[in-house]
Structure 1
Amino acid sequence: MKKIITIIFLILLIGLEIYAKNVSDINKRKVEMNKNYFVKDTKVSEVINDPAFKGFGRLIFPVNTDYWSGEILKDIRLTWYSHINPDKTVEIVNNLKERVSVGETVFFDIYTEAEKKAEPRKKDTGLFFFKGKPNEKFAICNAGGGFSYVGAIHDSFPHALELSKKGYNAFILIYRPDPILACEDLARATAFVFEHAKELEIDTNAYSLWGGSAGARVVAMLGAYGTSKFGEKDYPKPSAVIIQYTGLSEHSPKEPPTFVCVGDNDYISNWKVMKSRVDNISKMGIDTEFHVYHNLGHGFGLGLGTEAEGWIDKAIKFWEKQMQMNNRWWSNSIIFLWEGTT
């Protein structure tokens, strides 16, 4: 009996040693993995030059350095923007690196080398990609920056990341900061997604365009006038445009369903001008939704920690509503065609 107890004790002891070693190995791997992670005190230059982002790291942050500051991630400041969240910034760059580490492609050129050589400013363009569920719908997010720079790290990367968490395939366009050239870049980006939809595993039906400030003007133009107006083939228009804080007043009967949000303390984009535009679009029978947030200024992004926090969930529901309308239209069209053949 004593012999059996001794054997059992030895087995348990060996088991505990194996367990302790496994726990130690797991913790060691976690420590090693965390060594590669960025934190709020990480230098921006380290992110840009990280091997995972070779060839495109500089485009994560504004190319024009005259409009932003901050040597480390938590100190990033962007001209005309507010409520920049360091935790979100860190989450974005870590998420990008994690995706690269598992073999995902997170950046695509939208212009050929020949096109970039002919027009050097095209070297500062491209599409970042947060992949969602296979064969799910897509969105292209466009940051603002007064057509002087592209503030994507605050005004489009966070939006795209949240969309991908919902399962949607989300792109971030880095465009040439010029009102017309930016529209051409968005038209090319849209064409790129449509042309590579199969390999990207994307559903191109009922897509959406998102934009803040200057980027909102770009998506409004593409939404109303289409890709053919800006040098590309005539691809389907978006099922919805999501617009933040831009004082655009121009509108037409060609506008897609439009969601808008802005702060009532915005010294750049007056909320009353935006409300008037939305009302005019609505009067033409186009679906709209408008939100104004009190005591909030320009460029709040996701609005984390403010009255606007959660607006993106409302915007997603608005887009999903348009998806359902689009599906209903297709169903009715199929029924009509079927009945027409009998």
Structure 2
Amino acid sequence: MFGIGLMILLAQPAFAEELGQANITPRTKMAEIRSNPSIVGAGIYTYSLDQDRVLDRMYWDAQPLSRLSNHWTAQDAADGLNYLIRTYNAGQRVTFPLYTAEEIAQDTSRDGVELYYLPAEGAQANQKYALVIGGNAIVVSAEIREGISTAWNLHEMGYPVFVLRYRIGMKASNNAPLQDVVRAVQYITEYAGQFGVQAEDYAIVSYSSGGQIAGLFGTDAVGYKNYGLPKPGAMLLGYPVNTFLEFKPVYNILLDPGVCKQRYYKMTLSDYITPDYPPTYHWYGKNDMTLMTMCWSAQGPVLEKALARNHVTHIYHVYDDAPHAVAAGKDTDAEGWLNEAVAFWEEQVG
């Protein structure tokens, strides 16, 4: 399917002249992280769209990781980055582009769509894997804050984990983010043997707007069945967006002007839940200010009703203190949700 993809997968990484040290902490300045030879050599993405301009870069480079991430996720993000550095230093590839050079030449927005792979320690063949999909705020993507921090927690539980960097902002037209989720699962499925994972029974762990995109991947309408892919073993969704409400026409004007065809941001996830939807674990916080601006009651409560109405196996939690972007929920009421969700996943797939 991916042409030269297998060669890319098996190729040794192009090492920098010297390897970087795995000494990142929440206090490490972003300039130091971004110049770490192993971060650079491995190709790990550290900029969001609004941080990759000259003046913005000057500001963000002077900030610690805890500012780019947040105080709930910074330690896990640091631990995850350090593990990626150690993995790269040991001679293993950790960054996998999902589109070929020819495909990128046809559509330059595909450049930079990639997976970061955290293999399990002492990995054995045919392990179940998790795919982590962070949220975004149009120009700020969460590969580090929600992606790598969550991946580290799952790695500590013994799982091989992939983090997806997908298209956001003005690159998110023509259903691009949904296409990127599809491509990620296609890629992992095709090269499951090389990664040492099993293609079936995987979990998708996703957040916020990433949760809406991942959620749609689980539907009959636009999801995995349409591409002949294995059904997810479980959807583990943290504060997922169910509907963009009044933002739908705004997205349409900005991303797909003049287009009337169906687009992911026009789709309300709960409208597409069927009895065959994958087992789902989802949760929200009552003090999630981001979802409050999007009508909190139209999000989790409506998705919960759709899951219950269709008799989908699921668990639903609402926490008093669990703000947006807390990922694994350290130091909030949601702390421990990921462990419970993983146990739920394991129960569903045996």
Check whether TM > 0.5.
yes
Aligned to 2:115: 127
| One-letter code aligned to 1:258 | T
Aligned to 2:51: 65
1:276 is the counterpart of 2:308:
no
Using structure 2 for the length normalisation, give the TM-score: 0.75
Give the secondary structure class of the aligned counterpart of 1:144. Answer: coil
**Structure 2 Cα separation of the partners of residues 145 and 278 of structure 1:** 23
CA contact (8 A) 1:44 1:73 kept: yes
State the shift of 1:88 in Å.
Answer: 2.2
Q: Trace 1:43-192 onto structure 2 (pairs within 5 A).
A: 43-54=29-40, 57=43, 59-65=45-51, 69=60, 71-77=62-68, 83-132=71-120, 133-134=123-124, 135-177=126-168, 178=172, 180-192=175-187
**Structure 2 Cα separation of the partners of residues 272 and 93 of structure 1:** 36
From the superposition, tell whether residues 268 and 168 of structure 1 become closer, same or farther in structure 2 (CA, over 3 Å): same
1:252 is the counterpart of 2:273:
yes
Give the secondary structure class of the aligned counterpart of 2:48. Answer: coil
Aligned to 2:349: 323
From the superposition, tell whether residues 313 and 185 of structure 1 become closer, same or farther in structure 2 (CA, over 3 Å): same
State the shift of 1:316 in Å.
Answer: 0.4
State the shift of 1:226 in Å.
Answer: 2.2
Give the secondary structure class of the aligned counterpart of 1:124. Answer: coil
Aligned to 2:234: 240
From the superposition, tell whether residues 301 and 274 of structure 1 become closer, same or farther in structure 2 (CA, over 3 Å): same
Give the secondary structure class of the aligned counterpart of 1:150. Answer: coil
Question: Between Structure 1 and Structure 2, which shows a larger proportion of helix residues?
Answer: 1
Using CA pairs below 8 Å that are at least 6 residues apart, which structure has the higher relative contact order? Answer: 2
Percent identity reads 23
State the shift of 1:159 in Å.
Answer: 1.3
Aligned to 2:223: 226
| One-letter code aligned to 1:99 | T
1:217 is the counterpart of 2:212:
yes
Question: Between Structure 1 and Structure 2, which shows a larger proportion of strand residues?
Answer: 1
Deviation string, structure 1 residues 153-194 (Cα, Å, up to 9, x no partner): 111111111112222111000000127211100100100001
CA contact (8 A) 2:21 2:36 kept: no
State the shift of 1:46 in Å.
Answer: 2.7
**Structure 2 Cα separation of the partners of residues 288 and 243 of structure 1:** 11
CA contact (8 A) 1:247 1:268 kept: no
Aligned to 2:247: none
Aligned to 1:290: 316
Give the secondary structure class of the aligned counterpart of 2:183. Answer: helix
Aligned to 1:306: 332
RMSD over aligned CA atoms reads: 2.5
| One-letter code aligned to 2:281 | F
CA contact (8 A) 2:206 2:238 kept: yes
Which protein shows a greater Rg? 1
**Structure 2 Cα separation of the partners of residues 207 and 251 of structure 1:** 21
Give the secondary structure class of the aligned counterpart of 2:162. Answer: strand
State the shift of 1:119 in Å.
Answer: 1.6
**Structure 1 Cα separation of the partners of residues 76 and 26 of structure 2:** 10
| One-letter code aligned to 2:215 | A
Which of 200, 205, 222 is the matching residue for 1:205? 200
Which ranges in structure 1 are unaligned for 5 or more consecutive residues? 1-32, 325-342
| One-letter code aligned to 2:25 | V
Using structure 1 for the length normalisation, give the TM-score: 0.76
State the shift of 1:262 in Å.
Answer: 1.0
CA contact (8 A) 1:49 1:57 kept: no
From the superposition, tell whether residues 208 and 147 of structure 1 become closer, same or farther in structure 2 (CA, over 3 Å): farther
Deviation string, structure 1 residues 251-277 (Cα, Å, up to 9, x no partner): 321421111011011233226631331
Give the secondary structure class of the aligned counterpart of 1:136. Answer: coil
Deviation string, structure 1 residues 229-266 (Cα, Å, up to 9, x no partner): 4xxx3111201111111330433214211110110112
| One-letter code aligned to 1:283 | R
Stretch deviating more after TM superposition (262-271 or 89-98): 262-271
